[in-house]
Chains A and B, each alone.
Chain A
Amino acid sequence: MTAHLHTPDAPPRAVPVPLLPTGTLLRVEGLAKEFTLHLRGGTRLPVVDGAAFEVQAGTCVALGGPSGAGKSSILKMVYGNYRTDSGAIWLADDDGAVDVAHAAPRRMLDLRRRRIGYVSQFLRVIPRVSALDVVAEPLAAEGVPADTARARAQELLARLNLPERLWGLPPATFSGGEQQRVNVARGFIASQPLLLLDEPTASLDVVNRAVVIDLIREKKAQGTGLLGIFHDADTRDAVADVVVDVSSFAGRPQ
């Protein structure tokens, strides 16, 4: 079956759009972005130019290249967190593909709940919400009963060796590594078909890094597609099927 592409919230596109073959969860085409720093006299900071790659179901694609090459920015554009200047980010949805670069805010929020998850580098802490609820929330948002979601959250936090005495506490006072494990659990608990990972093991010790590698492999086995940035080569080699060298898309300084 071939999924038809359409963008319900975007103006009609003049150029005919390609079709996403079955199994292709994400197709990025001609992606370009630069920042304009108005407070620095309008300095333009090119990030990427012409980025193109795909993510297939059940595979992990790693974004490689030196720091500053735009890896994290690409991930944020795919999640709709950064704007895209030009190009398209086709994300497979139930009834066709959607261009994230042109999706309206409500559409984007809906896609995040159902289609695309994100483990950010740092946890954004919500006051007074316990680690357990932070982790369970995405699953509850899918409509899973609260008890089931919390039980699943407990399993994940236990696997990631987060001490049980911390589960009921808000993660604000946790160490970097503890917060990262909460963040990883929150990302992996949900069942979105595409999962974005921004250095998910950066603050973790060897034992917990191995747990994350296992979690990634399990996701792949379930058919989830992953797009990630991995700072250490060992983790990357253990999980990545494809490495996309982002420096080949580097934005040209002006």
Chain B
Amino acid sequence: MTGNALLNDAPLLRAEGLTRYYGRRLGCRDVNLEIHPGEVLAIVGESGSGKSTLLGLLSTELEPSAGKVSYRMRDGEMRDLAGLSEGERRLLLRTDWGFVRQHAEQGLRMAVSAGGNVGERLMAVGWRNYAGIRDEAIDWLGRVEIQPDRIDDDPRTFSGGMRQRLQIARNLVTQPRLVFMDEPTGGLDVSVQARLLDLIRSLVADLGLAVIIVTHDLAVARLLSHRIMVMKEGLVIEQGLTDQVLDDPREAYTQLLVSSVLAA
């Protein structure tokens, strides 16, 4: 890819003045951002900083109090997401987007087999041939390093790291263009985290995915993201190139976050 191709492309998603109150309490206020194809944006901050609220707004799970989110559909048209019909919105969520949640139980169907969890998304986009679906599911289980002989087991028998990898396969099998991730490595052992991070890193690069990842872990942001936004008390207080913000943080709060980490 030439540099100009990268620079001239239009944004995939754009948020303008995005604001959300819970009653009188502020979730996040006046957030503006753009994400381009292939770009990984990390949203960092402590609990309560508004980062998960922002992710909910971007992914249409929450309705904004003010502001809007636009998305470039596969036909190239930039659409205001608030203007989509419920059917269009669901199709978007099932096909063009992925959402990897911190708790795999919330992103998987726990009583359905591993293969079924992956195949279900394919059926949702119109796959009908059973053998084809099964082959594709086995292929994806392999890509997330799950042995093919586990295809008929249900995820309740899987370890935390395996469940998370299965959730990733379920999300990526429809070849989405944009994936939201909410603390995807949270609560996992360090060695399991490292494996998962490396898997996410290589899949994102190979597939050219755009990713918006919420994390409180600066090492995760450092490893995965191109750009970073730092949130505090519902506001974006600092943003830029990931290594620049982490190596030369300007705001007092960012300096505190960076200095509080053992090695980021």
Contacts and interface: CB of A to CB of B under 8 A. Distances in A.
B241 to A, nearest CB: 4
A238 interface: no
B39 A106 contact: yes
Contact of A127 (B197, B226, B227, B259): B197
Interface string A92-112: 001000000000011111110
Nearest to A115: B3
Interface in A107-147: 107-111, 113-114, 126-129, 143
Contacts of A129: 198
Given A82-B248, A83-B250, A105-B227, A39 B6 contact: no
A209 interface: no
B198 A128 contact: yes
Contacts, number: 62
B82 interface: no
Interface residues of B, number: 26
A70 interface: no
A155 to B, nearest CB: 24
B247 A105 contact: no
Residue from the set A82, A127, A129 with the largest chain B CB neighbour count within 10 Å: A127
B223 A126 contact: yes
A207 interface: no
Interface residues of A, number: 26
Residue from the set A37, A76, A82, A83 with the largest chain B CB neighbour count within 10 Å: A83
Interface in B11-65: 36, 39
B250 to A, nearest CB: 7
B157 interface: no
Nearest to B5: A110
Given A80-B241, A143-B1, A106 B36 contact: yes
Given A36-B250, A81-B243, A82-B244, 18 more contacts: A37-B255, A38-B251, A38-B252, A38-B256, A39-B256, A76-B247, A76-B248, A83-B240, A105-B240, A106-B6, A106-B227, A107-B7, A109-B241, A110-B3, A113-B3, A128-B195, A128-B198, A143-B1
Interface of B: 1, 3, 6-7, 36, 39, 194-195, 197-198, 201, 223, 226-227, 240-241, 243-244, 247-248, 250-252, 255-256, 259
6 contacts: A8-B7, A38-B251, A39-B252, A76-B248, A80-B244, A81-B247
